[in-house]
């Protein structure tokens, strides 16, 4: 493997970036901050009414910087490391006589806990005291919370309060309760001591009782000296259960590892009890204060850009993301009614209630394609898991049905064309508003309605005739002369577009396209897509060129897809000029899909999980571990010589035995051999057993 001897999992620097937005983030599923930042956020806690709602700022006791005392007389070396293996940020001061290290992390198994530890180790012979300074600017104040100091609890300070303004009139003001162990201005390793470690905790809950209980749990681990060990072990288990790597340049491997790390950091540990998801926002939980990173709102970014990768590697978390949409369905129903339509219209920007909180009405009114992205996520989940309970009992069917009802009430019949039209919309290309028949949006309407009809049959529900009538007769713009799909009625070739739009047809939006039309769409829109658009755009062009088996074009676009990664901690910015949201999970999600679905050719379909791998010019192989499909865990690897699919685990006897079907390669140059492990045909094979098959692409079902 190229650069195989170099570590793609630890990001090291001698100094911090000049732009504090690019500092490493420290998050788990409940708490988020950046290192050396005065603010932390709590999942689902927003302040401000309607379009002003944003993540509430909670002052962070974790904003502590390790420094050497003035006049120490030693030449000290600073090292900063983001260690994705352990989910930790480390700062080390090292000199001839001692080393001092600070570790900051959001606890993986105790999501209400943030921790900071400082260790001092004596190198040189001697017994003199060694002192290091801890710079902290903590102030118990917030522009979003009415905070008060309360009585200490088991050595921890106590701060509590509530948000100032609810999202909706008459809504509840959310409570926040924080306990933390105060940080002294200095720490000293005493005379004769060889080493010492001090740990400082920050614990946040929705009530005093919850915060106290979580602190007790943390103190119990701390007393056993296993607080950090439990966190690191959880990360080790997570990485053992899923992974994504390529045979290729180190910068690509690091970008993949960083993107997967930041996305996994936002999700709960597999098997975590009673996890309630409040959605994934473009900048993640570490960002989203007022006037920052879209204020922590949830967009289509979650459903179209982040969800597919989450589904493949962490289906429990994928289910939780869908439950967020289920929980906010009442807000979506109101949004549709408010616009004069039936069914549900999911908010372009959503917070706690699901009601529209976009500050600019045009987006909330016109970017109705979000409905299609939401239903596409439900569709992928259904085919990948066959989890009927979510749809029969937990509200999934209600979402799919309500979106179908919205589409049928939103379209208009054109007697001239004998087609249904969808007028006055804004497609993903936000440079164009108020257009008619966005091809991307209309194809999503088709997909939503056809999936709703198929799901209704599976659930024994009646299928309204109108659903399939609209699906079959909605206009899908196509120019037969130029052999491409115009973005909307009246689109003129050469008009600049903001971001990936038509090129989303085929993948991630299922839609049959001939290779000639697919190529023409890619070439037409690549030439006119703004270089100033958001980071996720180029990943979908890369997938398209991989579908067409063009390794050179695929590599060029794959490189562009991770160009917004910044050094040294692989933090993403939304735009190439470093503006927009940070740490941009949307861009990471698209980039991960370019490898997870592009290089492998994975497609989640009703009939099975298909694969058709190819490597871009700069990559000679890919390895994906921990793929989840219908209760089984699969490892997939591909190189120039072979494809190997191995079933590594089954969730239980209820998980169906998987079969494999390989097809003759359509690439006449050289059909590679493929290896399948696990279950072949109707014969049950033990986990790990492999058989050689001579052709691919193929399907697992």
DSSP assignments along 122-152, one per residue: E-SS----EEEEEEE---S--SSEEEEEEEE
Radius of gyration of the chain (CA): 26
Give the other-Cβ count within 10 Å of 594's Cβ: 27
CA distance 345 to 322: 15
* Angle at the Cα of 17 from the Cα atoms of 287 and 30, rounded to 5 degrees: 25
Residue 285: name the closest of 548, 106, 65, 63 by CA. Answer: 106
As a three-state string, the secondary structure of 320-379 is: HHHHHHHHCHHHHHHHHHHHCCCCCCCCCCECCCCCCCCCCHHHHHHCCHHHHHHHHHHH
Q: Which residue has the tokens 């339509």?
A: 341
The position carrying tokens 């909180």 is: 357
**Coil, helix or strand for 636?**
strand
Return the number of other C-beta atoms located less than 10 Å from residue 447's C-beta.
18
643-650 and 632-639 as β-strands: parallel, antiparallel, unpaired?
antiparallel
Give the active site residue among 38, 210, 316, 430: 430
Query: Is 430 a known active-site residue?
Result: yes
Q: How far is CA 383 from the centre of its chain?
A: 20
Tokens 């014969």 sit at which residue? 683
d(C-alpha 485, C-alpha 464), whole Å = 30
* Interatomic CA distance for residues 28 and 35, integer angstroms: 14
Asked whether the beta carbons of 318 and 310 are under 8 A apart, the reply is yes
Kindly report the number of other CB atoms within 10 A of residue 281's CB atom.
28
Catalytic (active-site) positions: 430
């Amino acid at each position: 493997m190229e650069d195989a001897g170099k570590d793609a999992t630890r990001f090291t620097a001698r100094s911090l970036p000049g732009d504090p937005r690019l500092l490493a983030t420290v998050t788990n599923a409940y708490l988020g901050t950046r290192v050396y930042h005065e603010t932390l956020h709590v999942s689902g806690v927003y302040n401000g009414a309607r379009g002003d709602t944003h993540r509430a700022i909670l002052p962070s006791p974790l904003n502590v910087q390790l420094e050497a005392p003035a006049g120490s007389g030693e030449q000290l070396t600073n090292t900063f490391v983001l260690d994705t293996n352990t989910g930790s940020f480390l700062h080390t001061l090292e000199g001839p006589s001692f080393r001092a290290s600070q570790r900051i992390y959001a606890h993986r198994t105790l999501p209400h806990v943030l921790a900071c530890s400082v260790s001092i180790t004596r190198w040189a012979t001697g017994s003199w005291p060694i002192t290091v300074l801890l710079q902290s600017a903590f102030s118990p104040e917030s522009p979003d919370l009415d905070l008060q100091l309360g009585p200490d609890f088991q050595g921890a300070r106590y701060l509590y309060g509530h948000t100032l303004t609810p999202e909706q009139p008459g809504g509840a003001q959310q409570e926040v309760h924080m306990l933390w162990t105060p940080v002294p201005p200095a720490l000293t390793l005493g005379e004769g001591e060889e080493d010492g470690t001090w740990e400082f905790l920050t614990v946040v809950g929705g009530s005093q009782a919850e915060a106290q209980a979580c602190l007790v749990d943390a103190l119990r681990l701390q007393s056993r000296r296993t607080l950090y060990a439990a966190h690191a072990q959880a990360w080790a288990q997570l990485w053992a259960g899923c992974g994504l790597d390529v045979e290729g340049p180190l910068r690509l491997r690091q970008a993949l590892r960083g993107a997967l790390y930041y996305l996994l950091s936002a999700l709960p540990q597999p098997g975590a009890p009673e996890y309630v998801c409040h959605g994934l926002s473009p900048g993640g939980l570490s960002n989203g204060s007022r006037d920052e990173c879209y204020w922590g709102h949830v967009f289509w970014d979650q459903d179209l850009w982040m969800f597919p990768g989450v589904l493949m590697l962490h289906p429990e978390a994928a289910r939780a993301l869908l439950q967020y949409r289920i929980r906010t369905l009442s807000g979506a129903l109101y949004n549709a009614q408010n616009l004069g339509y039936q069914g549900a219209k999911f908010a372009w920007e959503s917070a706690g209630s699901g009601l529209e909180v976009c500050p600019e009405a045009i987006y909330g009114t016109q970017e109705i394609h979000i409905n299609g992205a939401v239903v596409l996520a439900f569709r992928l989940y259904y085919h990948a898991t066959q989890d009927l309970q979510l749809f029969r009992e937990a509200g999934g069917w209600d979402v799919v049905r309500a979106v179908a009802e919205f589409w049928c009430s939103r379209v208009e019949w054109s007697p001239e064309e004998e087609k249904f039209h969808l007028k006055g919309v804004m497609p993903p290309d936000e440079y164009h508003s108020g257009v008619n028949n966005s091809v991307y949006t209309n194809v999503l309407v088709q997909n939503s309605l056809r999936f709703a009809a198929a799901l209704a049959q599976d659930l024994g529900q009646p299928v309204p005739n109108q659903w399939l009538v609209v699906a079959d007769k909605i206009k899908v713009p196509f120019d037969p002369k130029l052999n491409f799909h115009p973005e909307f009625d009246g689109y003129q070739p050469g008009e600049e577009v903001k971001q990936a739009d038509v090129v989303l047809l085929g993948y991630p939006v299922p839609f049959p396209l001939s290779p000639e039309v697919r190529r023409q769409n890619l070439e037409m829109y690549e030439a006119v897509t703004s270089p100033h658009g958001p980071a996720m755009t180029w990943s979908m062009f890369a997938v398209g060129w991989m579908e067409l088996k063009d390794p050179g074009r695929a590599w060029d676009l794959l490189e562009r897809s991770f160009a917004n990664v910044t050094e040294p901690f692989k933090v993403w910015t939304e735009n190439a000029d470093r503006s927009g949201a940070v740490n941009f999970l949307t861009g990471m999600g698209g980039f991960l899909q370019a490898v997870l679905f592009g290089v492998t050719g994975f497609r989640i379909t009703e009939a099975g999980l298909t694969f058709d791998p190819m490597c871009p010019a700069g990559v000679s192989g890919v390895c994906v571990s921990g793929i989840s499909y219908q209760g089984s865990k699969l490892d997939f690897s591909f190189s120039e010589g072979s494809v190997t699919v191995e079933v590594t685990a089954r969730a239980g006897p209820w998980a169906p035995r998987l079969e494999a079907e390989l097809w003759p390669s359509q690439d006449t140059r050289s059909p590679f051999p493929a290896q399948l492990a696990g279950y072949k045909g109707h014969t049950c094979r033990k986990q790990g057993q492999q058989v050689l098959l001579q052709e691919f692409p193929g399907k697992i079902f």
